[in-house]
Structure 1
Amino acid sequence: MARAYSVGNVLNAKFETLAFDGIWKDAIGCPEVAGSWIIYGPTKNGKTTFAMMLAKYLTNFEKVFYNSVEEGLSRSVQIAYERVGMIEASGRITLEREGLEAMIERLQKRKSPNIVFVDSSQFMGITFKEYKRLKTMFPRKLFVFVSHVVNGQPDGKAAIAIWRDASVSIRVEGFRAFPIGRYGGGEHIDVDAERAAAYHITG
């Protein structure tokens, strides 16, 4: 039987966290580099652009792998890169379209990225069992899943289970991101301030 943690053990434990600042700290706090997050929302409401914004910001702390299972190398992804100024993160982010096993093989390599985006969970076809396997295999990596929605919730049983388990969940609607997480924060981030203002005034 494993030894139980005392109050002192819990309060004095040290964790690797990311020193977020500015709007990102206000939105998310200072998160741990582990576990999972989920970004979800309706199509054509800024979800992918927000995911790219977040990926770019995270390159300030760790190397990022963006698994664009849904689109791969495409003009729409190129436009999103241009929109967020991804050139500034050159050398710290890579993009590919890979299935689950190929992605696992990549992540098992030495010096593989510690932050991994999966866009989208539906196109990956990941099950909750496979998701738990990922977390067990890579306890010191952060997985960020992008998900479609049905009736305002992530689409499918696996996506809903990931949403419930995620340390940070971010709903993107009307070009505005609304985070809820375990690290504090809670302020929204606009993907496109003008379009967000128009949507949320009239929405």
Structure 2
Amino acid sequence: MNSETTYKVPPAYSYSDIAKMKFNTLPFEGDWKELIGTPEVAGSWIIWGKSGNGKTRFALQLAKYLAGFQKVYYNSLEEGLKLSFKNALEANNIKSVGSKFCFHKEKLQQMRARLDKDRSPNIVIIDSLQHFRIKESDYYSLLEDYPKKLFIFISHAQGTEPKGELADEIRYNSDVKIRVHQFVASPVENTRYGGNKPYIIWDEGMRNAQIKLT
């Protein structure tokens, strides 16, 4: 008796099959299109930078823009529900997108329970990866279990790179990789969606940072 499992092998796809497929994309315009391109709502992105360089400000500006297309969930693990987070929301006028932006502070299993609900947000921002405290297997399980959701990880930096082995793995696997430095968000390599131009997060902060270097 053959104890090996028998698998039914489906037909392989041809080019004509994928040509007919419809993908959930976001029609970015202006500065955002030049930075990122026309992204798909799937997979993962990673954004990293050192403290005080505009990382959270950029993450909230991105969240606000994304909320113009679809509902965004922001997992505020690092700042939680502190006054500093309230001030950051106000500074970036997040109230202008109303209920299209929602947030909480929660670990992996609670976040999964939220995402399992009907009509849960398809865009998830996790701030920060280091406070999320997940394993590499947890990261890949998120992508496999929620293939129609986009996960954006905010990471601390070590030098010019994302901090830690998991952050490095996520960078390798992500479609969009952005480094924030001195209030400028720059794509690291071209994104997989066509973007390649740096984005100025805060003009005054950028100018002040440059003055300190002279």
Normalising TM by the smaller chain, what interval?
over 0.9
Counterpart mapping for 1:141-180 below 5 A: 141-179=149-187, 180=190
- Where 2:209 maps in the other structure, the secondary structure is helix
Q: 1:126 aligns with which of 115, 130, 134?
A: 134
Identical positions, percent: 43
Distance in 1 (alpha carbons) for counterparts of 2:128 and 2:149? 18
Q: 1:33 aligns with which of 41, 45, 64?
A: 41
Distance in 2 (alpha carbons) for counterparts of 1:44 and 1:199? 10
* Residue-by-residue CA offset, 1:115-171 (whole Å, 9 max, x unaligned): 001100100011111000101111000000000011221111111101110110110
- Where 2:99 maps in the other structure, the secondary structure is coil
* Residue-by-residue CA offset, 1:70-98 (whole Å, 9 max, x unaligned): 11111211121112111101111111000
Distance in 2 (alpha carbons) for counterparts of 1:91 and 1:16? 21
Distance in 2 (alpha carbons) for counterparts of 1:162 and 1:2? 30
Q: In the alignment, what sits opposite 2:193?
A: 183
Distance in 2 (alpha carbons) for counterparts of 1:69 and 1:195? 25
Cα pair distance change 1:12/1:197, threshold 3 Å = farther
Q: Provide TM-score, normalisation by structure 1.
A: 0.95
Instruction: Tell me the number of residue pairs that the alignment of Structure 1 and Structure 2 aligns.
Output: 203
**Structure of greater Rg:** 2
* Residue-by-residue CA offset, 1:6-48 (whole Å, 9 max, x unaligned): 2333344321100111111111111000001111011110000
Question: Following TM superposition, where does structure 1 have runs of at least 4 consecutive aligned residues deviating by more than 4 angstroms?
Answer: none
Q: Structure 2: which 5+ runs fail to align?
A: 1-8
Counterpart mapping for 1:1-203 below 5 A: 1-179=9-187, 180-200=190-210, 202=213
